[in-house]
Amino acid sequence: MSTQDFTGLNICCKFTELFSDLEDFNENEQKQKIEEMNGLLEEMDKEEFKLVFTKELFDKINKMIGKKKMSLNNAFLLLKHAGFCRALFKIQNYDFNDSSLSERFEKMIIDENKKKKEKNEVRYLDLCECYFLLNKLFSSELLSICIPGLLKVALNKEKSEETQKEVELALLAMGVIEIDQKIEKDLYLNEMKEIIIYHQEHHNLTRLAYQSAWQFLMNRFDNDNSLEAVIVNELHFVREAIKELEELMKCVDWKKKKEEEKGKETKALTIIWRWIDTLGIFFDLCSSRNEEYSVLVESIVQAFRAAKDKNREIGKECFYIFESLAENEAIKIEDLIESGAVSLVLEEILRPTMDDEMTCDCLVLFVTLSSRLKEEKDDEKEEEKRKITKRKMFEKLEEEGYEDIIVSFHEPFDFLEQKFYYELSLDISDYFVNI
Protein backbone atom coordinates (compact mmCIF):
# COMPACT_ATOMS: atom_id res chain seq x y z
CA MET A 1 0.00 0.00 0.00
CA SER A 2 1.39 3.42 -1.00
CA THR A 3 1.77 6.31 1.45
CA GLN A 4 -1.03 8.15 -0.37
CA ASP A 5 -3.38 5.15 -0.05
CA PHE A 6 -2.56 4.82 3.63
CA THR A 7 -3.17 8.53 4.23
CA GLY A 8 -6.52 8.32 2.41
CA LEU A 9 -7.52 5.29 4.45
CA ASN A 10 -6.64 7.15 7.64
CA ILE A 11 -8.77 10.13 6.57
CA CYS A 12 -11.77 7.89 5.82
CA CYS A 13 -11.37 5.97 9.09
CA LYS A 14 -11.04 9.16 11.12
CA PHE A 15 -14.12 10.66 9.46
CA THR A 16 -16.16 7.48 10.08
CA GLU A 17 -14.99 7.34 13.68
CA LEU A 18 -16.03 10.95 14.32
CA PHE A 19 -19.40 10.36 12.69
CA SER A 20 -20.12 7.23 14.75
CA ASP A 21 -19.52 9.20 17.97
CA LEU A 22 -21.76 12.17 17.11
CA GLU A 23 -24.76 10.84 19.04
CA ASP A 24 -22.75 11.00 22.27
CA PHE A 25 -22.37 14.80 22.15
CA ASN A 26 -24.65 17.75 22.79
CA GLU A 27 -25.47 20.16 19.96
CA ASN A 28 -22.51 22.52 20.48
CA GLU A 29 -20.00 19.69 20.89
CA GLN A 30 -21.51 17.96 17.87
CA LYS A 31 -21.06 21.14 15.83
CA GLN A 32 -17.35 21.22 16.72
CA LYS A 33 -16.95 17.58 15.68
CA ILE A 34 -18.73 18.26 12.37
CA GLU A 35 -16.40 21.18 11.67
CA GLU A 36 -13.50 18.76 12.20
CA MET A 37 -15.17 16.29 9.83
CA ASN A 38 -15.57 19.05 7.23
CA GLY A 39 -11.83 19.68 7.47
CA LEU A 40 -11.20 16.00 6.71
CA LEU A 41 -13.65 16.22 3.80
CA GLU A 42 -11.43 18.79 2.11
CA GLU A 43 -8.51 16.33 2.16
CA MET A 44 -10.46 13.51 0.48
CA ASP A 45 -10.17 12.62 -3.17
CA LYS A 46 -13.18 11.48 -5.23
CA GLU A 47 -12.86 7.79 -4.39
CA GLU A 48 -12.48 8.49 -0.67
CA PHE A 49 -15.58 10.69 -0.78
CA LYS A 50 -17.58 7.83 -2.32
CA LEU A 51 -16.29 5.41 0.31
CA VAL A 52 -17.54 7.64 3.11
CA PHE A 53 -20.79 9.14 1.79
CA THR A 54 -22.83 6.00 1.31
CA LYS A 55 -26.57 5.37 1.40
CA GLU A 56 -26.06 3.91 4.88
CA LEU A 57 -24.50 7.14 6.14
CA PHE A 58 -27.36 9.25 4.74
CA ASP A 59 -29.93 6.86 6.21
CA LYS A 60 -28.15 7.12 9.56
CA ILE A 61 -28.32 10.94 9.45
CA ASN A 62 -32.03 10.66 8.69
CA LYS A 63 -32.58 8.46 11.77
CA MET A 64 -30.57 10.83 13.94
CA ILE A 65 -32.69 13.78 12.79
CA GLY A 66 -35.89 11.78 13.37
CA LYS A 67 -34.83 10.78 16.90
CA LYS A 68 -33.62 14.35 17.59
CA LYS A 69 -30.06 13.14 18.06
CA MET A 70 -28.87 15.62 15.43
CA SER A 71 -30.37 19.06 14.86
CA LEU A 72 -31.22 20.15 11.33
CA ASN A 73 -28.67 22.96 11.62
CA ASN A 74 -25.89 20.50 12.36
CA ALA A 75 -27.08 18.22 9.57
CA PHE A 76 -27.00 21.20 7.18
CA LEU A 77 -23.49 22.10 8.35
CA LEU A 78 -22.21 18.66 7.37
CA LEU A 79 -24.33 18.06 4.28
CA LYS A 80 -23.81 21.49 2.70
CA HIS A 81 -20.06 21.03 2.88
CA ALA A 82 -20.30 17.50 1.50
CA GLY A 83 -22.57 18.76 -1.28
CA PHE A 84 -20.18 21.61 -2.05
CA CYS A 85 -17.26 19.17 -2.45
CA ARG A 86 -19.35 16.76 -4.54
CA ALA A 87 -20.55 19.53 -6.86
CA LEU A 88 -17.20 21.32 -7.11
CA PHE A 89 -15.33 18.22 -8.24
CA LYS A 90 -18.34 16.69 -10.06
CA ILE A 91 -18.08 13.49 -8.03
CA GLN A 92 -20.29 10.75 -9.45
CA ASN A 93 -21.89 9.70 -6.18
CA TYR A 94 -25.65 9.09 -6.25
CA ASP A 95 -26.16 7.29 -2.93
CA PHE A 96 -28.13 10.24 -1.57
CA ASN A 97 -30.80 9.73 -4.27
CA ASP A 98 -31.89 6.38 -2.87
CA SER A 99 -31.63 7.32 0.80
CA SER A 100 -34.41 7.97 3.31
CA LEU A 101 -32.77 11.36 3.96
CA SER A 102 -33.47 12.41 0.37
CA GLU A 103 -37.16 11.49 0.86
CA ARG A 104 -37.27 13.46 4.13
CA PHE A 105 -35.76 16.58 2.55
CA GLU A 106 -38.02 16.37 -0.50
CA LYS A 107 -41.11 16.22 1.72
CA MET A 108 -39.83 19.05 3.92
CA ILE A 109 -39.19 21.28 0.89
CA ILE A 110 -42.71 20.69 -0.45
CA ASP A 111 -44.30 21.22 2.97
CA GLU A 112 -42.26 24.36 3.68
CA ASN A 113 -43.15 25.80 0.30
CA LYS A 114 -46.89 25.41 1.07
CA LYS A 115 -46.58 27.63 4.12
CA LYS A 116 -47.34 31.32 3.84
CA LYS A 117 -46.61 33.55 6.84
CA GLU A 118 -45.05 30.74 8.87
CA LYS A 119 -42.54 29.84 6.14
CA ASN A 120 -38.98 29.57 7.48
CA GLU A 121 -37.06 31.05 4.54
CA VAL A 122 -33.61 30.14 5.88
CA ARG A 123 -34.55 26.51 6.49
CA TYR A 124 -36.27 26.30 3.12
CA LEU A 125 -33.13 27.50 1.29
CA ASP A 126 -30.85 25.24 3.34
CA LEU A 127 -33.05 22.29 2.35
CA CYS A 128 -33.01 23.29 -1.33
CA GLU A 129 -29.23 23.68 -1.41
CA CYS A 130 -28.54 20.38 0.36
CA TYR A 131 -31.05 18.53 -1.81
CA PHE A 132 -29.66 19.89 -5.10
CA LEU A 133 -25.96 19.65 -4.19
CA LEU A 134 -26.26 15.98 -3.22
CA ASN A 135 -28.89 14.72 -5.66
CA LYS A 136 -28.85 13.75 -9.34
CA LEU A 137 -32.42 13.78 -10.65
CA PHE A 138 -35.19 16.19 -9.70
CA SER A 139 -38.92 16.09 -10.33
CA SER A 140 -40.57 18.96 -12.21
CA GLU A 141 -42.28 19.92 -8.95
CA LEU A 142 -38.99 20.19 -7.06
CA LEU A 143 -37.39 22.21 -9.87
CA SER A 144 -40.31 24.66 -9.97
CA ILE A 145 -40.17 25.04 -6.17
CA CYS A 146 -36.42 25.30 -5.63
CA ILE A 147 -35.10 27.25 -8.62
CA PRO A 148 -36.93 30.52 -7.76
CA GLY A 149 -35.55 30.33 -4.21
CA LEU A 150 -31.99 29.64 -5.35
CA LEU A 151 -32.22 32.44 -7.92
CA LYS A 152 -33.41 34.83 -5.23
CA VAL A 153 -30.20 34.13 -3.29
CA ALA A 154 -28.05 34.35 -6.43
CA LEU A 155 -29.53 37.76 -7.32
CA ASN A 156 -28.12 39.31 -4.12
CA LYS A 157 -25.65 41.89 -5.43
CA GLU A 158 -23.78 42.69 -2.21
CA LYS A 159 -20.03 42.22 -2.34
CA SER A 160 -19.53 41.09 1.26
CA GLU A 161 -17.64 37.82 1.69
CA GLU A 162 -20.61 36.18 3.43
CA THR A 163 -23.00 37.14 0.62
CA GLN A 164 -20.54 35.96 -2.03
CA LYS A 165 -20.34 32.56 -0.35
CA GLU A 166 -24.15 32.28 -0.21
CA VAL A 167 -24.46 33.27 -3.87
CA GLU A 168 -21.69 30.84 -4.84
CA LEU A 169 -23.43 27.94 -3.10
CA ALA A 170 -26.79 28.75 -4.70
CA LEU A 171 -25.30 28.94 -8.22
CA LEU A 172 -23.22 25.81 -7.65
CA ALA A 173 -26.42 24.00 -6.61
CA MET A 174 -28.10 25.12 -9.85
CA GLY A 175 -25.06 24.12 -11.89
CA VAL A 176 -25.48 20.46 -10.92
CA ILE A 177 -28.88 20.23 -12.64
CA GLU A 178 -27.91 18.01 -15.53
CA ILE A 179 -28.52 18.31 -19.26
CA ASP A 180 -31.42 15.85 -19.37
CA GLN A 181 -33.52 17.90 -16.91
CA LYS A 182 -35.89 20.12 -18.86
CA ILE A 183 -36.67 23.52 -17.32
CA GLU A 184 -38.97 26.14 -18.83
CA LYS A 185 -37.15 29.39 -19.74
CA ASP A 186 -39.72 31.46 -17.86
CA LEU A 187 -38.45 29.90 -14.65
CA TYR A 188 -34.86 31.13 -14.96
CA LEU A 189 -33.75 33.00 -18.10
CA ASN A 190 -34.35 36.66 -17.20
CA GLU A 191 -32.85 36.19 -13.74
CA MET A 192 -29.79 34.33 -15.04
CA LYS A 193 -29.19 36.99 -17.67
CA GLU A 194 -29.36 39.65 -14.97
CA ILE A 195 -26.85 37.74 -12.78
CA ILE A 196 -24.35 37.31 -15.61
CA ILE A 197 -24.63 40.82 -17.06
CA TYR A 198 -24.39 42.46 -13.63
CA HIS A 199 -21.21 40.50 -12.89
CA GLN A 200 -19.70 41.49 -16.24
CA GLU A 201 -20.20 45.13 -15.24
CA HIS A 202 -19.49 45.01 -11.49
CA HIS A 203 -17.49 41.79 -10.81
CA ASN A 204 -19.53 40.81 -7.75
CA LEU A 205 -19.33 37.00 -8.15
CA THR A 206 -16.56 34.60 -7.21
CA ARG A 207 -14.90 32.80 -10.12
CA LEU A 208 -16.65 29.55 -9.13
CA ALA A 209 -20.04 31.27 -8.90
CA TYR A 210 -19.62 32.81 -12.36
CA GLN A 211 -18.56 29.50 -13.91
CA SER A 212 -21.52 27.76 -12.22
CA ALA A 213 -23.96 30.30 -13.69
CA TRP A 214 -22.64 29.48 -17.16
CA GLN A 215 -22.71 25.75 -16.39
CA PHE A 216 -26.41 25.96 -15.54
CA LEU A 217 -27.16 27.91 -18.71
CA MET A 218 -25.07 25.62 -20.91
CA ASN A 219 -26.87 22.56 -19.53
CA ARG A 220 -30.17 24.12 -20.65
CA PHE A 221 -28.72 24.81 -24.13
CA ASP A 222 -28.80 21.06 -24.89
CA ASN A 223 -32.63 21.08 -24.86
CA ASP A 224 -33.17 24.54 -26.32
CA ASN A 225 -31.21 25.66 -29.40
CA SER A 226 -32.80 29.13 -29.19
CA LEU A 227 -30.50 29.84 -26.24
CA GLU A 228 -27.51 30.09 -28.59
CA ALA A 229 -28.41 33.67 -29.54
CA VAL A 230 -28.63 34.64 -25.86
CA ILE A 231 -25.43 32.81 -24.89
CA VAL A 232 -23.29 34.09 -27.77
CA ASN A 233 -24.74 37.48 -28.73
CA GLU A 234 -26.33 38.88 -25.57
CA LEU A 235 -24.09 37.40 -22.89
CA HIS A 236 -20.89 37.17 -24.98
CA PHE A 237 -19.93 33.70 -23.78
CA VAL A 238 -16.93 33.31 -26.10
CA ARG A 239 -15.36 36.59 -24.98
CA GLU A 240 -16.02 35.80 -21.31
CA ALA A 241 -14.59 32.28 -21.55
CA ILE A 242 -11.39 33.64 -23.13
CA LYS A 243 -11.04 36.21 -20.33
CA GLU A 244 -11.75 33.76 -17.51
CA LEU A 245 -9.30 31.14 -18.81
CA GLU A 246 -6.61 33.77 -19.28
CA GLU A 247 -7.03 35.10 -15.72
CA LEU A 248 -7.28 31.64 -14.13
CA MET A 249 -4.13 30.46 -15.91
CA LYS A 250 -2.24 33.27 -14.17
CA CYS A 251 -3.36 31.96 -10.75
CA VAL A 252 -1.40 28.71 -11.13
CA ASP A 253 2.33 28.14 -10.85
CA TRP A 254 2.57 25.52 -13.58
CA LYS A 255 6.13 24.57 -12.62
CA LYS A 256 5.04 23.43 -9.16
CA LYS A 257 4.56 19.74 -8.60
CA LYS A 258 0.97 18.59 -8.01
CA GLU A 259 1.67 17.59 -4.41
CA GLU A 260 2.89 21.14 -3.71
CA GLU A 261 -0.39 22.78 -4.73
CA LYS A 262 -2.15 24.64 -1.97
CA GLY A 263 -5.52 26.26 -1.38
CA LYS A 264 -6.33 28.91 -3.97
CA GLU A 265 -4.12 27.33 -6.62
CA THR A 266 -5.84 23.93 -6.35
CA LYS A 267 -9.23 25.65 -6.60
CA ALA A 268 -8.07 27.60 -9.67
CA LEU A 269 -7.09 24.32 -11.37
CA THR A 270 -10.50 22.89 -10.55
CA ILE A 271 -12.30 25.92 -12.01
CA ILE A 272 -10.15 25.74 -15.17
CA TRP A 273 -11.20 22.10 -15.53
CA ARG A 274 -14.86 23.09 -15.00
CA TRP A 275 -14.60 25.81 -17.68
CA ILE A 276 -13.07 23.33 -20.13
CA ASP A 277 -15.93 20.93 -19.38
CA THR A 278 -18.47 23.71 -20.02
CA LEU A 279 -16.73 24.61 -23.29
CA GLY A 280 -17.07 20.98 -24.34
CA ILE A 281 -20.87 21.28 -24.10
CA PHE A 282 -20.83 24.58 -26.00
CA PHE A 283 -18.75 23.30 -28.92
CA ASP A 284 -20.89 20.17 -29.16
CA LEU A 285 -23.98 22.32 -29.68
CA CYS A 286 -23.09 25.70 -31.22
CA SER A 287 -24.13 26.12 -34.84
CA SER A 288 -23.41 29.79 -35.60
CA ARG A 289 -20.06 31.23 -36.66
CA ASN A 290 -18.17 33.56 -34.30
CA GLU A 291 -14.95 35.34 -35.23
CA GLU A 292 -13.58 34.87 -31.71
CA TYR A 293 -13.59 31.07 -31.94
CA SER A 294 -9.96 30.98 -33.06
CA VAL A 295 -8.86 32.95 -29.97
CA LEU A 296 -10.92 30.72 -27.69
CA VAL A 297 -9.45 27.56 -29.24
CA GLU A 298 -5.99 29.09 -28.74
CA SER A 299 -6.85 29.52 -25.02
CA ILE A 300 -7.78 25.83 -24.83
CA VAL A 301 -4.52 24.88 -26.55
CA GLN A 302 -2.59 26.95 -23.98
CA ALA A 303 -4.49 25.30 -21.13
CA PHE A 304 -3.64 21.86 -22.51
CA ARG A 305 0.05 22.69 -22.94
CA ALA A 306 0.27 24.04 -19.39
CA ALA A 307 -1.75 21.30 -17.71
CA LYS A 308 -0.96 18.11 -19.65
CA ASP A 309 1.73 16.93 -17.21
CA LYS A 310 0.19 18.54 -14.12
CA ASN A 311 -3.52 17.77 -14.38
CA ARG A 312 -4.54 14.81 -16.55
CA GLU A 313 -8.27 15.61 -16.22
CA ILE A 314 -7.80 19.05 -17.84
CA GLY A 315 -5.78 17.46 -20.64
CA LYS A 316 -8.45 14.83 -21.35
CA GLU A 317 -11.25 17.43 -21.37
CA CYS A 318 -9.25 19.56 -23.83
CA PHE A 319 -8.94 16.60 -26.20
CA TYR A 320 -12.70 15.95 -26.06
CA ILE A 321 -13.14 19.56 -27.18
CA PHE A 322 -10.68 19.16 -30.07
CA GLU A 323 -12.78 16.23 -31.32
CA SER A 324 -15.97 18.33 -31.06
CA LEU A 325 -14.25 21.19 -32.90
CA ALA A 326 -13.22 18.91 -35.73
CA GLU A 327 -16.80 17.63 -36.14
CA ASN A 328 -18.59 20.99 -35.82
CA GLU A 329 -19.20 22.64 -39.20
CA ALA A 330 -19.55 26.04 -37.47
CA ILE A 331 -15.85 25.86 -36.62
CA LYS A 332 -13.53 26.64 -39.51
CA ILE A 333 -10.61 24.28 -40.00
CA GLU A 334 -8.46 27.43 -40.34
CA ASP A 335 -9.32 28.11 -36.68
CA LEU A 336 -7.80 24.78 -35.71
CA ILE A 337 -4.67 25.45 -37.78
CA GLU A 338 -4.16 29.07 -36.71
CA SER A 339 -4.91 28.44 -33.02
CA GLY A 340 -2.23 25.75 -32.81
CA ALA A 341 -4.69 22.89 -32.20
CA VAL A 342 -3.50 20.89 -35.23
CA SER A 343 0.17 21.33 -34.25
CA LEU A 344 -0.63 20.26 -30.70
CA VAL A 345 -2.37 17.06 -31.82
CA LEU A 346 0.56 16.26 -34.10
CA GLU A 347 2.94 16.74 -31.17
CA GLU A 348 0.84 14.43 -28.99
CA ILE A 349 0.69 11.65 -31.55
CA LEU A 350 4.52 11.74 -31.72
CA ARG A 351 5.07 11.47 -27.95
CA PRO A 352 6.81 8.17 -27.18
CA THR A 353 5.08 7.86 -23.80
CA MET A 354 1.53 8.68 -24.88
CA ASP A 355 -1.17 6.14 -24.11
CA ASP A 356 -3.29 4.21 -26.59
CA GLU A 357 -6.45 6.17 -25.76
CA MET A 358 -4.80 9.49 -26.64
CA THR A 359 -3.46 7.96 -29.85
CA CYS A 360 -7.01 6.96 -30.73
CA ASP A 361 -8.26 10.48 -30.06
CA CYS A 362 -5.58 11.92 -32.37
CA LEU A 363 -6.40 9.51 -35.17
CA VAL A 364 -10.15 10.13 -34.91
CA LEU A 365 -9.56 13.86 -35.13
CA PHE A 366 -7.47 13.60 -38.31
CA VAL A 367 -9.97 11.27 -39.98
CA THR A 368 -12.71 13.83 -39.24
CA LEU A 369 -10.68 16.76 -40.61
CA SER A 370 -9.68 14.77 -43.69
CA SER A 371 -13.33 13.89 -44.35
CA ARG A 372 -14.43 17.53 -44.05
CA LEU A 373 -11.70 18.72 -46.41
CA LYS A 374 -12.73 16.17 -49.06
CA GLU A 375 -16.31 17.48 -49.21
CA GLU A 376 -16.68 19.66 -52.29
CA LYS A 377 -18.83 22.80 -51.96
CA ASP A 378 -21.60 23.79 -54.38
CA ASP A 379 -20.94 27.50 -53.88
CA GLU A 380 -17.99 28.64 -56.00
CA LYS A 381 -16.53 30.98 -53.36
CA GLU A 382 -16.86 28.36 -50.62
CA GLU A 383 -15.22 25.77 -52.85
CA GLU A 384 -12.28 28.12 -53.42
CA LYS A 385 -11.97 28.63 -49.65
CA ARG A 386 -12.03 24.85 -49.13
CA LYS A 387 -9.15 24.39 -51.58
CA ILE A 388 -7.09 27.09 -49.84
CA THR A 389 -7.73 25.51 -46.43
CA LYS A 390 -6.92 22.07 -47.81
CA ARG A 391 -3.56 23.32 -49.09
CA LYS A 392 -2.81 24.96 -45.71
CA MET A 393 -3.61 21.71 -43.95
CA PHE A 394 -1.56 19.67 -46.40
CA GLU A 395 1.46 21.93 -45.96
CA LYS A 396 1.18 21.83 -42.18
CA LEU A 397 0.98 18.02 -42.15
CA GLU A 398 3.80 17.66 -44.67
CA GLU A 399 5.98 19.97 -42.58
CA GLU A 400 5.47 17.78 -39.51
CA GLY A 401 6.07 14.46 -41.28
CA TYR A 402 2.46 13.41 -40.75
CA GLU A 403 2.42 10.76 -43.51
CA ASP A 404 5.25 8.80 -41.89
CA ILE A 405 3.46 9.01 -38.52
CA ILE A 406 0.25 7.52 -39.93
CA VAL A 407 2.09 4.78 -41.79
CA SER A 408 3.83 3.84 -38.54
CA PHE A 409 0.42 3.54 -36.83
CA HIS A 410 -1.25 1.55 -39.60
CA GLU A 411 -0.54 -1.88 -38.11
CA PRO A 412 -2.09 -1.20 -34.66
CA PHE A 413 -5.28 0.45 -36.06
CA ASP A 414 -7.26 -2.75 -35.65
CA PHE A 415 -6.06 -3.22 -32.05
CA LEU A 416 -6.92 0.38 -31.12
CA GLU A 417 -10.33 0.13 -32.77
CA GLN A 418 -11.19 -3.01 -30.80
CA LYS A 419 -9.86 -1.66 -27.52
CA PHE A 420 -11.52 1.76 -27.55
CA TYR A 421 -14.63 1.21 -29.73
CA TYR A 422 -13.96 4.29 -31.85
CA GLU A 423 -14.56 2.41 -35.10
CA LEU A 424 -11.30 3.65 -36.52
CA SER A 425 -11.03 3.33 -40.28
CA LEU A 426 -8.64 0.61 -41.40
CA ASP A 427 -8.26 2.36 -44.78
CA ILE A 428 -5.08 4.39 -44.46
CA SER A 429 -6.16 6.85 -47.19
CA ASP A 430 -8.90 8.15 -44.85
CA TYR A 431 -6.19 9.74 -42.70
CA PHE A 432 -4.53 11.74 -45.47
CA VAL A 433 -5.24 15.16 -46.92
CA ASN A 434 -4.19 15.17 -50.57
CA ILE A 435 -4.14 18.03 -53.06
pLDDT in tens, 200-258: 999 999 999 999 999 999 999 988 999 999 999 999 999 999 999 999 999 888 777 65
Residue 130's closest CA among 151, 108, 115?
108
Residue 51 lies in a domain: yes
Residue 115 lies in a domain: yes
Residue 121 lies in a domain: yes
Residue 427 has pLDDT above 90, yes or no: no
Residue 145 lies in a domain: no
pLDDT at 9: 63
Are 155 and 191 spatial neighbours (Cβ–Cβ below 8 Å)?
A: yes
Q: How many domains does the chain have?
A: 1
221: Cβ contacts below 8 Å, ≥ 6 apart: 227, 228, 231, 281, 282, 285
d(CA 372, CA 186): 39
- CA 75, distance to chain mean position in Å, is 27
Which pLDDT band, with edges at 50, 70 and 90, does 353 fall under? Answer: low
Burial class (CB in 10 A: 0-12, 13-18, 19+), 258: exposed
Burial class (CB in 10 A: 0-12, 13-18, 19+), 329: exposed
311: Cβ contacts below 8 Å, ≥ 6 apart: 258, 269, 272, 273
DSSP letter string over 395-422? HHHHHTTHHHHHHHHTTTHHHHHHHH--
For the question of whether the overall pTM of this predicted structure is more than 0.85, the answer is: yes
Which pLDDT band, with edges at 50, 70 and 90, does 410 fall under? Answer: confident
d(CA 424, CA 418): 9
Structural domain of 11: 1-136
Residue 349 lies in a domain: no
Residue 113 lies in a domain: yes
Give the chain's mean pLDDT.
90
Residue 4 lies in a domain: yes
2-6, 55-59, 260-264: range with lowest mean pLDDT: 2-6
Residue 302 lies in a domain: no
d(CA 208, CA 297): 21
